[in-house]
Chain A
Amino acid sequence: MTPENEDDLAQMITGASGPLRIVGGGTRPIGRCAGEALSTAQLSGITLYEPGALTLVAKAGTPVAEIETALAAENQRLAFEPMDHRALLGTKGTPTIGGVVAANVSGPRRISVGACRDFMLGVRFVDGTGTIIKNGGRVMKNVTGYDLVKLLTGSYGTLGVLTEVSLKVLPAVATQATLTLDGLDDATAIAAMSASLSSPYEVTGVAHDPATGKTCFRLEGFADSVAYRADALAKALAKFGTLDVVDDARTVKATWAAIRDVAAFADQPGDVWRLSVKPSDAAGIVAGIGAKAVQYDWGGGLIWALTQGGDLRAALGDFKGHATLIRGTADVPTFQPESAPLAAITAGLRAKFDPRGILNPGIMS
């Protein structure tokens, strides 16, 4: 099914007799569900872009690339830097903004500017009964009624099919630089990353790759400011070693795109898990799971783990955070099982928004 517009979509959902599998670009097959494919491909196009107000509204099926091109022309960007899952998951297709929002996809800059959900200003969606619902709007500050915008962001289509999203965008930056420390063990690298994030120097990316031994810090802004902060950060982190500075725009961009897309795991066999944890717990957690490889982002708060397969959660035990199976065959829940009261709330919400249980059923279990 490929609805041509929102009303069309509403009718299709109303008339659906069985489960629907909602597809944007099909590049992020995270979680499993069966059902007739429902594509948002025809719900496409930027409906409003006001650079001076830092806002952009687009239909859910709009390719992310189209949005990024429009933004670049005005020297702006999606600051949360959504990851491109294609290489890691071996998918083809065109990532859509609806897919980004439905999966709350963010990148390394999440640690400084926030996640996709933090840039979401408004949504239109069709719920499981075929009702068209809007929430939020196109302005940056809005507390009118409940924030269903956040609830829908990251709900993987289980509460409704997004038809339009409005986003806060930010100015692009004049200069970027990567500062690198070499040869730190995990725990020391995390200490160094925490020190950088606890400084006033506005680091916008902090990642560590144990395989290469490199700990990377990103600075962005006007050239003089980046130079000043690079100096200041080098002094602040002197006890961890000497920082190597790279400020060639293309190299910096490539480095952070590789971190964002977990490029190192793309061609390696095995399951890929994504863990959100308290940064100071990260090294200890990694030591306990026996992964083939790991990569730390968000100053240690995000762990990408490549494993042989099986249930990583068994090794994790009772830990503070959550683990999601992003790629793999393990017969385990994709998402971290929730405490009983939260699971009851979640089930209650699904029953309200999708009483027949036809929207991506089971995808978030």
Chain B
Amino acid sequence: MEMPTPNAAVISRKDQIVARLAKVLPPDAVISDIRETKAYECDGLTAYRCPPMCAVLPANTGEVVAVLKICHEMGVPVVPRGSGTSLAGGALPTADCVILGVAKMNAVIETNYDDRYIRVQSGRTNLSVTGAVEQNGFFYAPDPSSQLACAIAGNIAMNSGGAHCLKYGVTTNNLLGITMVMMDGTVVEIGGAHLDAGGLDLLGVICGSEGQLGVVTEATLRILHKPEGARPVLMGYDSSEVAGQVVTDIIKAGVLPVAIEFMDRPCIEATENFAKAGYPMCEALLIVEVEGSDAEIDAQLALIMKIAASHNPVELREAKDAEEAGRIWLGRKSAFGAMGQINDYMCLDGTIPVSSLPHVLRRIGEMSKQFGLDVGNVFHAGDGNMHPLILFDANKPGDLELCEEFGAEILKLCVEVGGCLTGEHGVGIEKRDLMNVQFAPADIEAQMAVKDVFDPAWLLNAAKVFPLASSEPRRAA
């Protein structure tokens, strides 16, 4: 993955820049020693690394304003960072940048159960938002698998999803308001405890803008009362066609499960070896979870089991208690870890229309042979968000490149069948140069025009999202 040539003029002024930042921040909040900046050299896309010129860790909105004013004035690129779990290289530094990390900003500012919201500083981790309200029976719905580590700031920037978004939506559907500092230091307050924007839906376009429009410092999030209970069923089928049909039939029957997860044979085999969850060896495995009171769960599951049974399952297992439910989820939750045991892997994130699942899986299987790399598929089947995991050997010269090439072909296939390049991980650097596959030049131009308004000098995380060739004239200006 290519990155722009760092701005030598900026790097040559490193001492002055650091000195000015040190004046507005506490001593331990400015990190410029190369041994320490290395801690920020990559995010979850670990194949790409580059230590930043320096990193700052402000503690509040005021300090973020001070940092951005200096960087703006001195023409220094800034890359915002939450917890650094992005799988797309969204938080990857450039050698001439200041990493602005919000990790210190993790306070709960207000909780309001009557009006069902919580306001937090953006560096707070996703899981600890739920942690702050669960003693009152509430939770924050979006639940990325990385929720123990990832920050609300990163969730907003990537519009992250989770296993339960079929029912609860993704970040953008649960975000009520933000405080954001623009690159020139202007503070904007958008939304709040009330619903829907008054004017243009700026919150909507900022959510998912990958740290390119401003630095989010605080957020108001919708919280919900926990359901009375939840229970999964597991079903195994001989073919992905049949499993796909089961998903369609369930949805058409009017049941809305909170999650429908799909795993294919390579993935089942890997997780069985690793986690021993007792999954059946078959072509396609589905985990379907519903919520409600015991009686409601029974009723919904009865309907689902009937549909499942009518398609000749090789296995059909309903969780009778919490322990069995845990076992059903065990394999799915350890899928990434299991694949990681076998080899290095790259996790893709394209979305397809649910109806093209069998076709896409067949094509991925064919490509796997062609490229000579194994691939396993984990899939949020209810919403078409695929996570093909391509196995490769990072120590073998050329394998990473081959894997990336294979990955690109899969994503092109997703677009070809009417889907998209990324369902929840974001574009970052990883899919940046594939944007032309999904979008015409005018579509990309319209998006870049939005950045022009928020960050006219293109200093914020500018080497991401858009093909470098497309953003070049703006970045160079």
Residues in chain A within 8 A of chain B (CB atoms):
50-55, 74-75, 104, 106, 110-111, 114-115, 117-118, 127, 131-135, 137-151, 153-155, 158-159, 170-174, 191, 194, 197-200, 221-222, 224-225, 228-229, 232, 276-280, 298, 301-302, 320-322, 324, 335-336, 338-339, 341-342, 345-346, 348-349, 352-353, 364
Residues in chain B within 8 A of chain A (CB atoms):
112-116, 137-138, 158-159, 161, 165-166, 169-170, 172-173, 182, 186-190, 192-205, 207-209, 225-228, 247-249, 251-256, 292-293, 295-296, 299-300, 351-355, 380, 383-385, 418-427, 431, 435, 438-440, 442-447, 449-454, 465
Whether B292 lies near A225 (C-beta < 8 A) is yes
Given contacts A144-B420, A352-B449, 16 further A-B contacts (CB under 8 A): A53-B248, A104-B201, A131-B442, A145-B443, A145-B444, A146-B465, A151-B200, A151-B205, A154-B200, A155-B201, A194-B115, A276-B194, A280-B112, A302-B195, A341-B182, A345-B453
Min C-beta distance of A21 to chain B, whole Å: 19
Cβ–Cβ < 8 Å partners of B465 in chain A: 145-146
Min C-beta distance of A124 to chain B, whole Å: 10
Name 25 interchain pairs, CB-CB below 8 A, sorted by A.
A52-B249, A54-B251, A75-B254, A117-B201, A133-B442, A134-B439, A134-B440, A134-B443, A138-B353, A142-B420, A143-B158, A145-B438, A145-B447, A146-B451, A147-B208, A151-B204, A151-B450, A154-B201, A174-B254, A198-B114, A279-B115, A302-B195, A339-B189, A345-B188, A364-B199
Min C-beta distance of A29 to chain B, whole Å: 19
Q: In whole angstroms, how far apart are the Cα atoms of A89 and B305 in the complex?
A: 49
Cβ–Cβ < 8 Å partners of B443 in chain A: 133-135, 145
Nearest A residue (CB) for B188: A341
Q: In whole angstroms, how far apart are the Cα atoms of A111 and B173 in the complex?
A: 11
Min C-beta distance of A205 to chain B, whole Å: 14
Whether A146 lies near B205 (C-beta < 8 A) is yes
Report the 10 A-B pairs with minimum CB-CB distance, sorted nearest first: A150-B204, A322-B198, A52-B248, A141-B423, A348-B453, A171-B254, A278-B193, A140-B383, A352-B449, A321-B194
Cβ–Cβ < 8 Å partners of A53 in chain B: 248, 251, 353-355, 384
Min C-beta distance of B63 to chain A, whole Å: 19
Cβ–Cβ < 8 Å partners of B451 in chain A: 146
Nearest B residue (CB) for A321: B194
Cβ–Cβ < 8 Å partners of A335 in chain B: 198-199
Q: In whole angstroms, how far apart are the Cα atoms of A149 and B186 in the complex?
A: 26
Whether A141 lies near B165 (C-beta < 8 A) is yes
Whether B418 lies near A198 (C-beta < 8 A) is no
Whether A342 lies near B450 (C-beta < 8 A) is no
Q: In whole angstroms, how far apart are the Cα atoms of A200 and B112 in the complex?
A: 17
Nearest B residue (CB) for A351: B453
Chain B CB count within 10 A is highest, among A53, A138, A154, for A53
Whether B254 lies near A139 (C-beta < 8 A) is no
Cβ–Cβ < 8 Å partners of A138 in chain B: 353, 418
Whether A50 lies near B355 (C-beta < 8 A) is yes
Chain A CB count within 10 A is highest, among B187, B420, B451, for B420
Nearest A residue (CB) for B380: A141
Given the contacts A53-B354, A320-B193, A200 and B225 also touching, CB distance less than 8 Å: yes
Nearest B residue (CB) for A301: B195
Given the contacts A141-B384, A144-B422, A151-B205, A198 and B251 also touching, CB distance less than 8 Å: no
Q: In whole angstroms, how far apart are the Cα atoms of A199 and B422 in the complex?
A: 35
Cβ–Cβ < 8 Å partners of B254 in chain A: 75, 171-174
Across the interface, B299 reaches (CB within 8 A) one of A75, A132, A225, A338, namely A225
Whether B450 lies near A137 (C-beta < 8 A) is no
Chain A CB count within 10 A is highest, among B166, B383, B453, for B453
Given the contacts A173-B254, A224-B296, A199 and B194 also touching, CB distance less than 8 Å: no
Cβ–Cβ < 8 Å partners of B201 in chain A: 104, 117, 150-151, 153-155
Whether B173 lies near A146 (C-beta < 8 A) is no
Nearest B residue (CB) for A52: B248
Q: In whole angstroms, how far apart are the Cα atoms of A57 and B54 in the complex?
A: 47
Cβ–Cβ < 8 Å partners of A277 in chain B: 194
Given the contacts A118-B169, A228-B293, A139 and B423 also touching, CB distance less than 8 Å: yes
Q: In whole angstroms, how far apart are the Cα atoms of A191 and B114 in the complex?
A: 8
Across the interface, A148 reaches (CB within 8 A) one of B355, B438, B446, namely B446
Whether A339 lies near B195 (C-beta < 8 A) is no
Q: In whole angstroms, how far apart are the Cα atoms of A173 and B256 in the complex?
A: 10
Whether B192 lies near A52 (C-beta < 8 A) is no
Q: In whole angstroms, how far apart are the Cα atoms of A158 and B193 in the complex?
A: 26
Q: In whole angstroms, how far apart are the Cα atoms of A145 and B446 in the complex?
A: 11
Whether B192 lies near A278 (C-beta < 8 A) is yes
Whether A141 lies near B424 (C-beta < 8 A) is yes
Min C-beta distance of A360 to chain B, whole Å: 13
Chain B CB count within 10 A is highest, among A115, A137, A197, for A137
Across the interface, B194 reaches (CB within 8 A) one of A139, A198, A320, namely A320
Whether B199 lies near A336 (C-beta < 8 A) is yes
Q: In whole angstroms, how far apart are the Cα atoms of A54 and B444 in the complex?
A: 27
Cβ–Cβ < 8 Å partners of A148 in chain B: 205, 446-447, 450
